Structures are given as structure tokens and as C-alpha cells.
Amino acid sequence: MKKFASKKLIILATCGLLAMASPGAAAAPGAGQGPAKSPATPQSTIKKIIQGNDAFRHTHQRNHFDALQTGQSPVITVITCADSQVHTQLFDFEPDNNIFIIRNIGNQIVTSEGSVDYGIHHLSTKVLLVMGHSSCSAIKTAMADYSNETTGIKTELDTLRPVMEMDDQQDPFNERWAQNVERNVDMQVRKGLKLYGDKVEAGELAVVGAVYDFNDMWGKGHGALVVVNINGVTHPQKIMNHPVLNELSRAEIVTHVGSRAK
Ligand SMILES: [Zn+2]
């Protein structure tokens, strides 16, 4: 029941508040139309989340909240994109008190550095997961002229410029788009290693870069979490033999390690 209620809340959120189109958004490659949604209004959206909260409280017993009375002890810090197509149910792992999550456009450490610092230094999470995703609108927008965007958006896209400078613009657009998503994940991992390299050296932290691939652009199946970087190691064969993956089976490793890099 508990799990069902969590999923229900996420569905409500996805259908309403969080499903607004972002600037520069486009149909994802291979994406279907999805179920039709009635037009949202502020009133219908707030009604959905209030009624959803009542349903959540009804299905979550007091002991769910008892566990939250004495502070948090998450095991992982996740920095991911604000995109409404991306949510932590993809891990099928109870997020409450387990996942310290920071979100912004383009899953960037540099635009949320203090929040990431908090997860690593104050909460001592064991993994910093930088999670990009297929068809990221932030990356797509940064690949074009975004001079007409707001100052706030421009500020958070300017920090993606080093990724764009690595794009030789030779491949078809969707190929470049995916490559730039991965290049950005790699850039964020480099930033993470710069900030927290001492903890990585001490074996207290792993900085992992991955892509949540709901378009199957990385060829591991729709919805796969594809690991593209572990502590700066980006070659798939070397990632597959990385000690951080020691507790996975060979089949799990093969299914979840990949790269679109040239
Ligand atoms: Zn995105």
C-alpha cells in the first residue's frame, strides 16, 4: 500500500504541477504521444496535489513519519535534471530518508554547489550520482541560440558552454544531442572529483555519472540507468571492471554500462 501511494502521488505530480513544457522542449526521439491530459489550470493542479496529499496520509501510517523525527541519514546524493520525465522511482528504491536529491536544469553541480556540498560533507553519503537523461531540453536549448531566454535561464545555460565547445557539429542532431548529454555528465563528474577528490581517494565516496535513458538512445532498453563514468573512468570496458561495481552480476553490469561518446 505504501509503495502504491508513493507512486500515485508521483503520477499526480507528473500529470499536473511538474508536467509543464520547458523552453526549447521538443518531442523526444521515438517518444509516443502518451495518454491525453486535460488542460491544467492553477485550480485543478492545486486540487490534485491536496487530494493526493490526503490519499498519501491515508495510506502512510504514523510509523512512516516516526522514522523521520530524528533527522536524515541518506545513502546517496543525486544531482539530476528538473525535467518532469525524470523521477527517482526509476531506482525502485524508497526515496524517503535514503536519497538526498538536488535538481536543476541540466543536472549541474556548479549551479547548486552548496546543496551538493551538504550531501557530501554534512550527510556523508557514499555515492554522488550525477544523472543526466535522454532528450534533455536544457542541453538542447544550450545547443542553439538562447539569447532570448530570461537572465536566470541564460545564467544556468552559460555554465554548459564547455560541453558545447566539445561538439564538432558533424553528426546528425539527435546523435549530437545524446553525446552532449553524456559530455555534460562527464563534466559534472570532473567537477565532483575536483570538489570531493579527497573522499574518493580515501574510499569514502564514489562519484558516478549516469544517464536515465527513457528513449533507448544508449541501446540498453527503455528506462535503463546507463553508467557512463565512475570516478572519472569513462571507457565502458574499464567501467565494467571498476571495483565500485563489484557487487553486481556480470549481466547487470553489461546491461547498465554504456557510452555514446565517439
Ligand atoms: Zn534535462
The residue extents of the domains of the chain are 1-28+39-70, 72-256
The grid coordinates listed for 188 are 559534472
Computed on alpha carbons and rounded to an integer, the radius of gyration of the chain in Å comes to: 19
From ligand 1's centre to the CA of 181, what distance in Å?
A: 9
User: Any residues with CB less than 8 A from the CB of 163 and at least 6 apart, and which?
Assistant: 139, 142, 180, 183, 184, 187
Asked whether the predicted pLDDT for residue 97 surpasses 90, the reply is yes
Of 190, 175, 189, the residue nearest 260 (C-alpha):
175
From ligand 1's centre to the CA of 90, what distance in Å?
A: 15
Cβ atoms of residues 208 and 244 within 8 Å: yes
From ligand 1's centre to the CA of 150, what distance in Å?
A: 17
From ligand 1's centre to the CA of 107, what distance in Å?
A: 7
Exposed / middle / buried, residue 133 (Cβ in 10 Å: 0-12, 13-18, 19+): buried
Mean pLDDT calculated for residue range 240-252: 98
Span 27-55, pLDDT tens digits: 444 444 566 778 999 999 999 999 999 99
From ligand 1's centre to the CA of 137, what distance in Å?
A: 5
From ligand 1's centre to the CA of 61, what distance in Å?
A: 34
CATH topology of domain 72-256: Beta-carbonic Anhydrase; Chain A (3.40.1050)
Euclidean distance between CA atoms 165 and 150, whole angstroms: 22
Span 139-180, pLDDT tens digits: 999 999 999 999 999 999 999 999 999 999 999 999 999 999
From ligand 1's centre to the CA of 184, what distance in Å?
A: 11
DSSP-assigned beta bridge partners for residue 213: 224
Asked whether the predicted pLDDT for residue 252 surpasses 90, the reply is yes
User: What is the per-residue DSSP string for the chain?
Assistant: -HHHHHHHHHHHHHHTTT-PPPTT--PPTT----S--PPP-HHHHHHHHHHHHHHHHHHS-HHHHHTTSS----SEEEEEE--TT--GGGGTS--TTTEEEEEETT--STTSHHHHHIIIIIS--SEEEEEEETT-HHHHHHTS--TTS-HHHHHHHHTTHHHHHT--S-S-HHHHHHHHHHHHHHHHHHHHHHHHHHHHHTTS-EEEEEEEETT-SSSS-TTEEEEEEETTB--HHHHHT-GGGTTS-HHHHHHHB-----
From ligand 1's centre to the CA of 84, what distance in Å?
A: 9
From ligand 1's centre to the CA of 138, what distance in Å?
A: 5
The grid coordinates listed for 176 are 549530437
Give the phi and the psi of residue 226 in degrees, each rounded to 5: -105, 115
From ligand 1's centre to the CA of 35, what distance in Å?
A: 21
From ligand 1's centre to the CA of 30, what distance in Å?
A: 17
Asked whether the predicted pLDDT for residue 9 surpasses 70, the reply is no
From ligand 1's centre to the CA of 175, what distance in Å?
A: 16
From ligand 1's centre to the CA of 186, what distance in Å?
A: 15
From ligand 1's centre to the CA of 101, what distance in Å?
A: 15
From ligand 1's centre to the CA of 143, what distance in Å?
A: 13
**pLDDT-based confidence at residue 261 (cuts at 50, 70, 90):** confident
From ligand 1's centre to the CA of 250, what distance in Å?
A: 30
Euclidean distance between CA atoms 180 and 261, whole angstroms: 9
Residues in the chain: 262
Mean pLDDT calculated for residue range 118-142: 98
pLDDT given at position 38: 82
From ligand 1's centre to the CA of 131, what distance in Å?
A: 9
Span 201-217, pLDDT tens digits: 999 999 999 999 999 99
